[in-house]
């Protein structure tokens, strides 16, 4: 029971870290005007069916500014959208993009103390758009998260067993592999197809980090469980293999969720539009 409590605590800590550090978490910060501090939040996720509103607190009625954006990884010029006053806030909207499309943007306020750039200096924020998530997508996603949560939990428990309770190690290792196979290698691609239009964009077809994370975690557990079946492998080697799989899984899992996720290639999209006789999709 103690080892399960330790494994659960490690799992919850890892899940919280991953969720709070992901690339779709809004950028938060503060800026100062006339000695007063104001908090702001810049979104990094939006829906493909609607423009994404960006709202900044307005220090005073005389402060104005603009939102500047361009399509990510393109040579587009920045497009300026004036901020409009809405009570005590200033707002502007980023134009909706196709699923997996990304925009790079920043906000510049012009107040009594001069220009203030958000998020600061020459930094920009990257926002990714995604399709709506109907129930047919949401349910597989819930099951995917369920299976992956328990896959990592059993993986951590297997690692603790390798160190302290080797008799229970095999069943925990096999449970981790089974859960990861169903959650990561079966439900995961289905969820991605429904949300972003592609089953798999990791190795060998692309560089999607979430897919590659899943693949790496699955492979190390396949190897570790495979060694459990080899008679000539010593008990110490089996325990070492499971421990290595646990360490690799944990390190990989801690990488922020959706980092370098599915990304629309605007240049390819423009070429397709132009070859079809249409206008470029540049703003």
Domain-wise residue ranges, the chain: 27-130, 133-266
Rounded average pLDDT over 253-258: 75
DSSP string, 111-178: ETTEEEEESSTT--EEEEEE----HHHHHHHHHHHHHHHHHHHHHHHHHHHHHH-GGGHHHHHHHHHH
How do residues 62-80 score in pLDDT, each as one tens digit?
899 999 999 999 999 999 9
Confidence of residue 280 (pLDDT cuts 50, 70, 90): low
Do residues 74 and 267 lie in contact, with contact meaning Cβ atoms separated by under 8 Å? Answer: yes
Give the pLDDT of residue 190.
82
Lowest mean pLDDT segment, chosen from 14-18, 128-132, 191-195:
191-195
pLDDT of residue 260: 61
* CATH dotted code for 27-130: 2.60.40.10
pLDDT band at 1 (very low <50, low <70, confident <90, very high): confident
pLDDT band at residue 261 using 50, 70 and 90 as cut-offs: low
* Segment 143-170 mean pLDDT: 91
Using the predicted structure, report yes or no on whether residue 278 has a pLDDT greater than 80. Answer: no
- pLDDT band at residue 220 under the 50/70/90 scheme: very high
Residue 263 has pLDDT above 90, yes or no: no
% of the chain with per-residue pLDDT over 70: 93
Measured CA to CA in angstroms, residue 58 lies from 36, 83, 280 at distances of 11, 10, 36
């Amino acid at each position: 029971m103690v080892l399960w409590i330790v494994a659960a605590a490690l799992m919850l800590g890892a899940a919280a870290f991953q969720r709070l550090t992901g690339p779709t978490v809004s950028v938060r910060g503060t800026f100062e005007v006339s000695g007063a501090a104001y908090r702001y939040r810049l979104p990094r996720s939006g829906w493909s069916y609607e423009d994404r509103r960006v709202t900044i607190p307005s220090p005073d009625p005389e402060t104005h500014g603009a939102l500047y954006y361009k399509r990510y990884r393109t040579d587009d010029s920045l497009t300026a959208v004036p901020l409009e006053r809405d009570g005590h806030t200033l707002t502007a909207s980023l134009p909706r993009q196709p699923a997996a499309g990304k925009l790079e943007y920043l906000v510049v306020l012009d107040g009594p103390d001069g220009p203030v750039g958000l998020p600061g200096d020459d930094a920009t924020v990257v926002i990714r758009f995604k399709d709506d998530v109907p129930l047919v997508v949401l349910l597989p996603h819930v099951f995917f998260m369920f299976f992956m949560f328990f896959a990592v939990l059993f993986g951590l428990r297997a690692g603790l067993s390798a160190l302290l309770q080797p008799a229970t190690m095999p069943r925990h290792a096999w449970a981790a592999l089974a859960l990861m196979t169903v959650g990561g290698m079966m439900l995961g691609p289905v969820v991605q197809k429904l949300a972003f239009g592609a089953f798999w964009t990791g190795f060998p077809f692309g560089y999607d980090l979430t897919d590659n994370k899943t693949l790496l975690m699955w492979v190390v557990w396949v190897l570790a469980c495979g060694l459990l079946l080899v008679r000539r492998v010593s008990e110490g080697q089996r325990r070492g293999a499971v421990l290595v799989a646990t360490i690799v899984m944990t390190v990989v899992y801690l990488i922020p969720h959706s980092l370098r996720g599915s990304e629309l290639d605007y240049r390819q999209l423009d070429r397709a539009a132009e070859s079809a006789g249409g206008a470029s999709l540049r703003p």
